Amino acid sequence: MKGTPITEAIVEYSTRLFPAEDDLLRDLRADAIRSGLPEIQIAPDQAAFMGMFLRAIGARRVAEVGTLGGYSAIVMARALPTDGMVATIERDPFRADFARGWAERAGLSDRIRVYTGAGSDVIEKEFGALAPFDFAFLDADKPGYVRYLELLLPMMRPGGVIAGDNAIAGGRIAEDHPDNDTVQGMQAFNRAMSENPRIDAALVPIGDGMCMGVVKGA
């Protein structure tokens, strides 16, 4: 049976009924725009979903690749218990410092650790000591997703969840785009999630899509 398309009106209805963006997150979004950061953080409906989801799985340790301004890190940290932690990676030093400032302003400096550097390098050098993770969120360079998946999968607890943002690539995911690294990167990641015998995955049509998978036991 054909599903009902998710229209802008439905998204607005959802965010109005299940609000997740408070004054602090709205101020963060506005400050990020003023500071020249691209407006590519997760959407408010994704924020509501992710906060609910992390609470549902009892997450305590979260890995994130792609901090940007810290919006999603704050959303996730708020959903964790007081002894929880979000370890997040940002390649750009200005954005990393921006995110640290907003984590402090949100009162979450004790739960958010911002690492500066390339995603693969930081995962290999730093994240092993922080494992096991309950949730991993990829929202960075799309061609790097498959490598991040390979590195993080051994660091996940059985029953933990890996999620890759932008899984429908702006509606282009089912099309051939041989010259578009972003679309090709997401297609490769979705395929890797689908084919990995240790992952039970599905594509969740929220925001720009999230490919999410539960990690099975060894």
Determine, yes or no, domain membership for 26: yes
- Whether the pTM exceeds 0.75: the reply is yes
Q: What is the CATH number of the domain that holds 184?
A: 3.40.50.150
**157: containing domain:** 8-215
**Does 1 map to a domain?**
no
Burial 96-107 (b: 16+ CB within 10 A, else e): bebbbbbbeebe
Over the stretch 43-75, which tens digit does the pLDDT of each residue have? 888 999 999 999 999 999 999 999 999 999 999
The more confident residue out of 28 and 180 is 28
Residue 166 domain-assigned? yes
Is 21 inside any structural domain? yes
Residues 86, 111: contact at Cβ < 8 Å?
A: yes
Angle between helices 23-34 and 93-105 (to 10 degrees): 160
CA dihedral 30→36→40→44, nearest 10 degrees, is -10
pLDDT of residue 176: 87
In sequence order, what are the beta bridge partners of 211?
164, 203
pLDDT band of 1, cuts 50, 70, 90: very low
Asked if residue 128 belongs to a domain, the reply is yes
Q: Is 3 contained in some domain?
A: no
Q: How many domains does the chain have?
A: 1
How confident is the model over 190-217, as pLDDT tens digits? Answer: 999 999 999 999 999 998 999 999 999 8
Q: CA-CA distance, 32 to 99, in Å (whole number)? A: 9
- From CA 142, how far away is CA 155, in angstroms rounded? 20
